[in-house]
Amino acid sequence: MAIKQYNPTTPGRRGMTSEDYSEITTRKPLKSLTKSKKQNAGRNNTGRITVRHRGGGVKRHYRLLNHRLAPGLKLSVEEIEYDPNRSARIARVKDQHGLYHYVLADTSMKKGKAIQSGSDAPIESSNRMPLASIPVGTQIYAIEITPGKGGQMVRSAGTKAQLMAKDGNYATVKLPSGEVRKFRIESQASIGTVGNVQHQNVKIGSAGRNRRKGIRPSVRGVVMNATDHPHGGGDGGSHGPGKAPRTPWGQLTLGYRTRRRKYSNKMIIKSRHDAKRKR
């Protein structure tokens, strides 16, 4: 996949790039595997805004992906499709029973390719099987955290993890973030690299393009009035020394921990934050 550039006919076009959609084989999704998606504009079930700067944007239909293929399936790739709800491409596949599924498309998926699932599947790209059946050193994606729950990790465009070792009931995997953690040996994963590798190199270029994605403008606190933000106020725009950086509601930010430590780190061997601390 290549990055498409534009002639600088306007200031927005000058810095704008987009994806090359040449690998996509159809524009229309399968109706039985889509459902309507409500735009909540960052509001929760009580109507309060819990995520700021969201709203508007184009209407989208959600594609129902199958993240846990049953063992023993033999599938063929029918189409490669665009999914507006994720950075990766999706593949429409058909199993031996005539049923259609949507799965994440990796870099090797092409129209007509055969895919298998289960521990007896060959060690080939796009096949899905337990970590116990995958050789050490293989690149994988769509990894299950809990066996049987479906792929939850390594699903973004261009990402891949590496199976480092196996020891007893656990397998050690190095994730794209640099984190090294353990997974149950029964957890399923797909072999390969998630497609649409050039996604990270796309430049938005204009504010209007972000609005169509459902992202509303963000205003810096230092340009607000003192009544609107702790960073606001000042005479003539002075931003001299003051309090530590805060949210609009006075909560400390930039390094201040706000999450409760109810989780366990027993599966994490090396934190993804270790590499950042060494810089």
pLDDT tens for each residue of 54-111: 999 999 999 999 999 999 999 999 999 999 999 999 999 999 999 999 999 999 999 9
Could you tell me if 79 and 28 are in contact, meaning their C-beta atoms sit under 8 angstroms apart? no
**Predicted pLDDT at 260:** 78
Q: What is the domain extent for residue 245?
A: 220-279
Domain boundary among 135, 170, 200: 200
3-state secondary structure of 55: coil
Within this chain, do residues 225 and 192 fall inside the same structural domain, yes or no?
no
Q: Summarize pLDDT for 184-229 with one digit per residue, the tens.
A: 999 999 999 999 999 999 999 999 999 999 999 999 998 899 999 9
**Predicted pLDDT at 52:** 93
Query: In this structure, is residue 207 part of a structural domain?
Result: no
Within this chain, do residues 228 and 92 fall inside the same structural domain, yes or no?
no
Within this chain, do residues 180 and 253 fall inside the same structural domain, yes or no?
no
CATH of the domain at 175: 2.40.50.140
Within this chain, do residues 136 and 194 fall inside the same structural domain, yes or no?
yes
Enter the pTM of the model: 0.87
**Predicted pLDDT at 240:** 66
Within this chain, do residues 224 and 158 fall inside the same structural domain, yes or no?
no
Domain count, the chain: 2
**Predicted pLDDT at 257:** 84
Of residues 172, 73, 171, 166, the one with CA closest to residue 120 = 73
3-state secondary structure of 222: helix
Within this chain, do residues 146 and 65 fall inside the same structural domain, yes or no?
yes
Q: pLDDT confidence of 259, banded at 50, 70, 90?
A: confident
Q: Summarize pLDDT for 138-162 with one digit per residue, the tens.
A: 999 999 999 999 999 999 999 999 9
Q: pLDDT confidence of 273, banded at 50, 70, 90?
A: confident
Question: Which string of b and e fits 202-238 if b means at least 16 CB within 10 Å?
Answer: beebbeeebeeebbeeeeeeeeeeeeebbbeeeeeee
* Average pLDDT value for residue range 267-276: 82
Within this chain, do residues 231 and 184 fall inside the same structural domain, yes or no?
no
